[in-house]
Amino acid sequence: MLKRVCLLLVVVLGSFVALAQEINCYPTNWWVGMKNPKVQVMVHGKDFGKGVITVADYPGVVVEKIQPAENPNYVFIDLIVSSAAKPGKLEISSKLGKNTMKAGLPLKARRTGNGVTYAQGVRSEDLVYLLIPDRFSNGNPANDKIPGLLDQTLNRDSIFHRHGGDLQGIINHLDYLQDLGITALWSLPVWQNNMPDRTEHGYAITNHYKVEPRIGTNEDYLRLSDELHKRGMKLIQDVIYNHTGLYHFFVQDKPMKDWLHEWPSYTGTNYKDQVLFDPYASKADKAKMLDGWFTPMMPDLNQGNPYVANFLIQHAIWSVEEFGVDGWRVDTYIYNDLDFMNRCNKALLEEYPRISIFGETWVHGVPNQAYFTENTLGDVPFRSNLPGTTDFQTLFYGIQESLTKPFGWTDGVNKLYTTTAQDYMYKDPMKQVIFLDNHDLARFYSVIGEDTAKYKMALSWLLTFRGIPQLYYGNEILMTGFTNPDGWVRLDFKGGWPGDKENKFTAAGRTDKENAIFNHIRSLAQFRKKSTALQTGKLMQFVPEDGVYVYFRYDGNQTIMCIMNTMTEAKTIEGKRFHERTAGFNRGIDIPTGASYSLTGSISLRPLSMLVLELK
């Protein structure tokens, strides 16, 4: 099997791909008035680099360098676009014999409202909703199949084929999301994935500057951003720096021989993050971790190549400026060259000081996770400037253990307590994104055996704990599924397609059980929009006793007391134990139910239940 895979890669990477006689610039446009006036334009077209390259005079623009690549189909041009430049179009030409090829780089006026109306950042005040465009809603059936693309599948009965969901479908249901209490939308990658096999996930990019046509156009993506901002909501973009799709134009037609990390035979990453900080690790293991391919269909980009690095960084800045992105999620963060990642994060934050950045850190253990973000660790091999991560630790070793394992000295809900106690390793734990599941994990409702009592507890925790809470589409309607194979956790949202027999976007289309969960989320999500304690307040936790875990979120204006009974029998706790935080209060109102509880005596807890009390 390995030999066949290696042969496929040799054939594909070594084959000549006929290029259309068109000339393209990357980035496709730029702006005047950027804080960093420098931009490196990659021009791509058949034999463009063979000719005499000329950049037409343009007031306020200085040509620093023109560098033909090893591959004559590419030229790299370093420009300085000064503040004196005006919007217009920069002309670039290549004269080869009697023929002249031309390309143009539009220069636009910048957006207004940096940090206010866009690039605002997604923070602990927000509630993030993660979805897969192909599986959420089909708002435009006309783009379900696009002639000329390699994958022509369209079959909702197969989890491995495309289903037709798109950006218009998302736009059509923004009112639904806003009513639920969502404030920020995170979509899986929107860029073109012109691959022969299943890529509904979007992580095999083949053109960084063109939205995947089966989910819409660049104009549709801009409209989604605008519609979100009109509602006071935010847009998070999912980005992949580590790898790309095997059929990307700059993989099929590489600008230079070291554009990718390539090996004598196919070599995948070892997926071992430990080698990056292990004082005893071998160089060979580190190289395999960082430079091995993520899959045979996803080549590893060489971020040590300055042209690759510039391409990726400029695409990040271009995305924020072009589409008004507010938050930045970095896929497979730990597999990237970490010095490059620091450089990229720095470039984004210098241009957009309020934008938020969080990286996927699917690792095991708080020290491992803290290593890849801003931390308080001492003498470590690398110092990260990444503001936050996806917090797999509070999931795997926190809430999941609390609701699937019996209570013990170090087990059950004690795992959540001890994991949280290690927050001292993070510079700012509030920037960690907490969640119950995502597109790569089993649905949490399935993990806990479809127990709605436990599920309500988990959701109450998610919406009241420290950090940035993230829901996965369908959490609110009890969607189920395990990851064998992954497609079972990426099913369609019922009601998102014309002709669906059920419509879970409406209360009438949901069952009583589904509505109970939807309303539970909605009541807490809408409450936290106005709750300073839940948005930005401090956290104080008490050692769990007999399966009961109590923590507080509080500030100078408000105190919220969260009481989690993970036991299958009723429990009673004495209010006086928590006098440190309850002093001055005599009762609490449970946010989801409106029930009142006295704090002066004992508090009775139902089995497998959680109270979220606003103290009065």
Q: Give the distance from CA 269 to its chain's centroid.
A: 21
Question: What CA–CA distance (Å, rounded) separates 327 from 352?
Answer: 10
Average pLDDT on 127-150 reads: 98
- Under DSSP, the state recorded for 268 is B
Average pLDDT on 23-37 reads: 98
- Res. 4: pLDDT tops 50: no
Q: How far is CA 120 from CA 330, 464, 525, 534, in A?
A: 17, 22, 20, 20
Average pLDDT on 583-603 reads: 96
pLDDT band at 138 (very low <50, low <70, confident <90, very high): very high
Nearest to 306 by CA among 298, 296, 314: 314
Average pLDDT on 559-570 reads: 98
Residue type, 472: Y
pLDDT band at 21 (very low <50, low <70, confident <90, very high): low
Give the SS3 label for residue 489.
Answer: helix
- Res. 238: pLDDT tops 90: yes
pLDDT, position 144: 97
Catalytic residue, candidates 212, 273, 360, 401: 360
- Res. 531: pLDDT tops 60: yes
The residues facing 40 across adjacent strands are 78
- Under DSSP, the state recorded for 300 is B
Structure tokens at 19: 């290029």
Q: Is residue 360 annotated as part of the catalytic site, yes or no?
A: yes
Average pLDDT on 318-346 reads: 98
Average pLDDT on 266-274 reads: 98
- Res. 3: pLDDT tops 60: no
Question: What CA–CA distance (Å, rounded) separates 597 from 560?
Answer: 13
The residues facing 108 across adjacent strands are 31
- Delimit the CATH 3.20.20.80 region(s) of the chain: 128-266+300-389+425-533
Q: What confidence tens digit (pLDDT) does each residue in 438-482 have?
A: 999 999 999 999 999 999 999 999 999 999 999 999 999 999 999
Q: Are the CB atoms for 570 and 579 separated by under 8 Å?
A: no
Question: What CA–CA distance (Å, rounded) separates 219 from 431?
Answer: 31
HSE-CB for 254 with a 13 A CA cutoff: 22
pLDDT, position 11: 42
Other Cβ atoms closer than 10 A to 17: 10
Mean residue pLDDT of the chain comes to 96
Looking at domain 128-266+300-389+425-533, its CATH superfamily turns out to be Glycosidases (3.20.20.80)
Q: What confidence tens digit (pLDDT) does each residue in 405-447 have?
A: 999 999 999 999 999 999 999 999 999 999 999 999 999 999 9
- Delimit the CATH 2.60.40.1180 region(s) of the chain: 534-615
Q: Are the CB atoms for 428 and 357 separated by under 8 Å?
A: no
What is the C-alpha end-to-end distance of the chain, expressed in Å? Answer: 66
- Res. 7: pLDDT tops 50: no
Question: What CA–CA distance (Å, rounded) separates 286 from 198?
Answer: 30
pTM of the predicted protein model: 0.96
b/e string for 580-590 if b means 16 or more Cβ within 10 A? ebbeebeebeb
- Res. 52: pLDDT tops 50: yes
Residues 6+ apart with CB under 8 A from 47: 72, 73, 94, 96, 101
- Res. 12: pLDDT tops 70: no
Work out the percent of the chain whose per-residue pLDDT is above 90: 96
Give the SS3 label for residue 356.
Answer: strand
- The CATH classification number of 20-108 equals 2.60.40.10
Residues 6+ apart with CB under 8 A from 560: 464, 531, 533, 534, 537, 552, 553, 554, 612, 613, 614, 615
- Res. 274: pLDDT tops 60: yes
- Delimit the CATH 2.60.40.10 region(s) of the chain: 20-108
Residues recorded for the chain: 616
Average pLDDT on 131-137 reads: 98
Average pLDDT on 340-366 reads: 98
Nearest to 340 by CA among 359, 355, 353: 359
Q: Is residue 331 annotated as part of the catalytic site, yes or no?
A: yes
- The CATH classification number of 534-615 equals 2.60.40.1180
pLDDT, position 277: 97
List, in sequence order, the alpha helices (H) in 202-337. Answer: 218-230, 249-252, 283-291, 306-323
Catalytic residue, candidates 126, 212, 331, 423: 331
Question: What CA–CA distance (Å, rounded) separates 264 from 246?
Answer: 17
Q: Helix 306-323 to helix 338-351 angle, to the nearest 10 degrees? A: 30
Matching residue, tokens 């993050």: 273
pLDDT band at 485 (very low <50, low <70, confident <90, very high): confident
Dihedral angle of Cα 445, 448, 452, 457, to the nearest 10 degrees:
-100
Average pLDDT on 224-230 reads: 98
Q: Are the CB atoms for 588 and 613 separated by under 8 Å?
A: yes
Average pLDDT on 324-343 reads: 98
- Res. 337: pLDDT tops 60: yes
List, in sequence order, the alpha helices (H) in 231-334. Answer: 249-252, 283-291, 306-323
- Res. 14: pLDDT tops 50: no
Question: What CA–CA distance (Å, rounded) separates 244 from 300?
Answer: 7
Residues 6+ apart with CB under 8 A from 121: 115, 326, 327, 354, 355, 356
- Res. 104: pLDDT tops 50: yes
Q: Are the CB atoms for 466 and 421 separated by under 8 Å?
A: no
Work out the percent of the chain whose per-residue pLDDT is above 70: 97
| Strand residue runs (E) in 88-151 | 88-96, 99-109, 128-131
- Res. 5: pLDDT tops 80: no
List, in sequence order, the alpha helices (H) in 324-465. Answer: 338-351, 366-371, 392-394, 400-404, 413-421, 444-447, 452-462
- Res. 374: pLDDT tops 70: yes
Q: Are the CB atoms for 552 and 559 separated by under 8 Å?
A: yes
